[in-house]
Structure 1
Amino acid sequence: MRTEGRDFLQRVVAAALLVRLGAIAVALVGLTGHELHGNVLVCILVLSFTSFVQLYSPAVEAFVARHPLTVILDILLALGTVAVVGVESPLVLATFSTALVVGLIFDRRVAVAGAVVLVAGYGLVLATDPHTTSGFMTTLGVPTLYVALVAVGGVVRQAHERDTVAHQLLAETKRAAAAADERARLAREMHDSLGKTLHGVALAAQTLPSWVDSDPDAAREHARLLADGAHRAAAEARGLLTRMRADQPDRPLAQVLAELCATWQGECGTPCHFRADRAVDLSTAARYEVLAVVAEALENVRRHARASTVGVVLAALPDGRVQVEVRDDGVGFSPSPDGAGPRGHYGLVGMRERAQSVGAELTVASAPGEGTSVVIEVDPEKEVEGVA
């Protein structure tokens, strides 16, 4: 049985036990002024003790949830109570919770069988008790309530099952939509980066033979550029594959970021500490771009910062925005007025474009000798979908 089903059964059993304890309390009020015989006291103690044990012992409650057939013992206990105290005793109220649990836990056929056993057992006690006075409640009311409560339990159970199926279908739909979004995003990435690089490599390869014949020195330069392009294409392909493996939309963003930091630390040897102030998440599009920005920031640290430690923090701001910061204690740099990075480095430009594509804000703070801080903030309410 799935965990959700077990949790549901545990809640049902707990609610039924609370109802039973309430019914026992009502029965005690009804018995005020009457002499309590030993058999009645025994029934009260047994019903109360079993209810308290199941209610306040998680192990017993979990056992009942895992083994629903133990409810048969509860049916026998209910009928035994009716047989001992008589059908006119207020303690009969405490047996109604058993009928409710039967309908909630068992499927229709077993629940019907349980209702038949309850009604037949009650009818047998009624027929064999010579002191019982005939009345509507004793002859028809109690058996009808048994059947009605089993039916109510069955309706609630079916509603829960339909709700569970609906949640599963919704989750599957979300996973399918996320997968389609990832495919579209991958196609865009391949077109914008890897495709252009490969196209340049192909053009250089086409012109290389003519340069070999006419200008060997230029041919060597073209060959070097061709090799650089191939290496760049391979690096871009590895980056795409890494982000595909890292961002699984059904996993929490904090878990994905923690694994990204651990992987980077293992590859570079520089300590990378991750902290999540609160459990937050983003849409698939925003997650993808945020992870790409974090990966690019860490790559810049590896290439240029000469840092001794790096910190990545995921936080939820008071105004509802989600913030991710990558901070290092490296050599730092002097950002240009337009927000670009050092001359010849275009990583910050790409990070800003990624942030803008989902309506996020990117802030870079750095100074020579003071390290660098890259902060991306996403407002889920103002977030826009990246263009595929």
Structure 2
Amino acid sequence: MAVDVETNALRAMCRQVVGLRLALIALGTPYALLGAGGEGGAGLAGLAAPGRAAPGGAVWPVGTAVLVTFLTSYALFRNWERLGGPLLLRHPTLLAADALVGSLLLVTAGPDSVLGYVGVCTTPLLAGLAYGPRGAASFACLQSLIVVTVYAAGLGGSGLGAPGMGAPGLGASVLLAGLSVIAGGLGVTLRNLLSRYGAAARALAVAQAAQEERAHLARDLHDSVAKTLHGLALQADALAESPDPRGQARAVAGAARRAVEESRELLAGLRGVPYGGVKVDLTSELTDRVRDFARRSGIRTCYVDEGAAPPAVPSAVAGQLLTIASEALENAGRHARPTRVDVSAGVVEGLLRISVRDDGRGLPPGTTLDGLRRTGHFGLVGMVERAAGVGARIRIGRGCGGLARGTEVRLELPVEGVAAR
């Protein structure tokens, strides 16, 4: 992903350079045309003689060169995603052809004009961005060779170019060659900055992935293995004083097997191996968990249908929903001191809804997720993160309906999106 970000940034920067070229051509064209048809005109040797040139004497060559260069650059700019970006980074010959087209501005308007600077500076700049130091050096040399050839042939414009290269033409050609080298170096610098940005983006992506994986592992450990082991420890403590040690021992063995099963499921998830069935019956699973919670806690717990029967849910989504419901039950048993807990599930107005309500003492005033994180209470935090992971909306607050006090945990997930998630 970070590599794509770096490549896209390079393409976007190259496109901006092409856009800058179009702006410079639009800016410099009026001055070039006025100079070509006016007093002391600059243009093709022999077409713009000292004194007033014939009307339009050098206007047509300059105008033609501007039109060809502008349309070529505009075609690249307009179709950048389809033509310019992908082809420019892979095929240097495209930029070489662009440099030859740009040389028309050097010949007609003169290298020392605004239009001349367009070709002298933008082509090496693009080469530095697209191809790095070697490409910048190659195209700077190519551009310098074009400039020297133009002056040596007496096409330098502005009265500097005469047949053969004199001192003025030599000095101007050296200056413009230096500008092309500087432009190429600027392109290489920008490319290096984008490369460092890509490296930073890769490091950030790795850090974020590691952080998300740690949070995922912490949620799974808290909501599955740690919870089961805690219940196992409580059952083992009560084993010695139990009037039915055999039954209590079977409960301890069942809890241990459940911990092993949860550990296997957790390891399979970490290795990216699908675990469990493809579809899960939420009604059956919730009924079993309600029955198990009522047996272990001694709290009167009931499951009721709400609306239409919930559909079979993919195991990946069902695992998250059932874990949230189980954690809500455990929180009620540990902290709320309820006398009754109601669990309901069903489809209401196109939403798959799961609700866990108790009549306990409710959440302490001022409870926030950040506060829970700071104090090391990760149950509610994990529930919110799990709900967000499957695209569900979760509400944790005061109960409603028949249980106007206590706490309600309500999950809502669009039925149409269940299979997709």
Question: TM-score per shorter chain, which class?
Answer: 0.5 to 0.7
- Structure 1 Cα separation of the partners of residues 312 and 116 of structure 2: 65
Q: Is 1:109 aligned to 2:134, yes or no? A: yes
Alignment of 1:50-65 (within 5 A): 50-57=72-79, 58-65=81-88
> Cα 1:156–1:272, aligned 2, differ >3 Å: closer, same or farther?
farther
Shift of 1:153: 0.9
Q: Alignment partner for residue 123 of structure 1, among 133, 148, 154?
A: 148
Distance 1:197 1:7, change over 3 A: same
**How many residue pairs end up in the alignment?**
307
Q: Write the letter of the residue equivalent to 1:193.
A: K
Query: What is the CA deviation profile of residues 270-314 of structure 1, one whole-angstrom value per residue up to 9, with x for unaligned ones?
Result: 2499xxxxxxxxxxxxxxxxx97884238889x9425234977xx
Contact 2:283/2:345 (CA < 8 Å) preserved in 1?
A: no
Who is 1:270 aligned against? Answer: 310
Name the SS of the counterpart of 2:128 in structure 1. Answer: helix
Distance 1:237 1:115, change over 3 A: same
Match for 1:374 among 409, 416, 421?
A: 409
Match of 1:30 in 2: 31
Check if 1:41 corresponds to 2:75: no
Distance 2:261 2:344 in 1: 20
Partner Cα separation in structure 1 for residue 383 and residue 325 of structure 2: 18
Asked whether the equivalents of residues 21 and 118 of structure 2 are also in contact (C-alpha less than 8 Å), the reply is yes
CA offsets per residue over residues 226-268 of structure 1, 9 Å max, x none? Answer: 454345435654775698689xxxxxxxxxxxxxxx9767897
Q: In structure 1, what is the Cα distance between the partners aligned to 2:400 and 2:348?
A: 15
SS at match of 2:409: strand
CA distance in 2, matches of 1:364, 1:263: 32
Q: Which amino acid aligns with 2:28?
A: A
The answer to whether the 8 Å contact 2:222/2:379 transfers is no
- How far 1:115 moved relative to its partner? 0.9
Q: Please state whether the residue corresponding to 2:399 is helix, strand or coil.
A: strand
Superimposed CA distance per residue, residues 13-66 of structure 1 (whole angstroms, 9 cap, x where no aligned partner): 221122111221222121243234433222111111112112222322333355
Q: Does 2:83 match 1:77?
A: no
Letter aligned with residue 151 of structure 2: L
Q: Write the distance in 2 (CA, Å) between the matches of 1:359 and 1:86.
A: 68
Closer/same/farther in 2, CA of residues 204 and 337 from structure 1, 3 Å limit: closer
Whole-angstrom CA distance in 1 between matches of 2:264 and 2:328? 16
Which of the numbers 297, 304, 307 marks the counterpart of 2:325? 297
1:355 to 380, 395, 398: 380
Q: Is the 8 A contact 2:346 2:353 kept in 1?
A: no
Alignment-derived partner of residue 179 in structure 2: 145
What is the TM-score when the length of structure 1 is the normalising length? 0.62
| Contact 1:310–1:327 (Cα < 8 Å) also in 2 | no
State the partner residue of 2:288: none
- Root-mean-square deviation over aligned CA pairs: 4.7
Name the counterpart of 1:157: 191
SS for the counterpart of 1:110 is helix
Q: 1:362 is paired with a residue of what secondary structure? A: strand
CA distance in 2, matches of 1:108, 1:98: 14
Residues 125 and 233 of structure 1, relative CA distance in 2, 3 Å threshold: same
Q: How does 1:1-388 map to 2 (within 5 A)?
A: 2-33=3-34, 34=37, 35=56, 36-57=58-79, 58-69=81-92, 70-95=94-119, 96-129=121-154, 132=161, 134=168, 138-180=172-214, 192-199=226-233, 218=244, 220-230=246-256, 232-233=258-259, 236-237=262-263, 270-271=310-311, 295-297=323-325, 304-309=343-348, 327-328=353-354, 335-339=358-362, 354-355=379-380, 362-368=396-402, 374=409
Name whichever of 134-143 and 176-185 sits farther off: 176-185
Q: Distance in 2 between matches of 1:366 and 1:240?
A: 35
Describe the superposition over 1:57-91 as per-residue Cα deviations: whole angstroms up to 9, x where unpaired. 23223333552422222222223442455435542
Matches of 2:403 and 2:360 in 1, distance apart? 19
Question: Aligned with 1:366: secondary structure?
Answer: coil
Residues of 1 paired with 2:348 and 2:271: CA distance?
25
Consecutive unaligned residues in structure 1, runs of 5 or more: 212-216, 247-261, 274-290, 313-325, 341-351, 377-388
In structure 1, the partner of 2:337 is: none
Query: Compared with structure 1, are the counterparts of its residues 304 and 109 closer, same or farther at alpha carbon in structure 2 (3 Å cutoff)?
Result: same
TM-score by length of structure 2 reads 0.57
- From the CA coordinates, give the structure whose radius of gyration is larger: 2
Taking a change above 3 Å as real, the CA distance of residues 141 and 267 of structure 1, as seen in their structure-2 partners, is: farther
- Does the 8 Å contact 1:204/1:226 carry over to 2? no
Query: Identity rate of aligned residues, in percent?
Result: 19
| Preserved CA contact (<8 Å) 2:310 2:345 | no
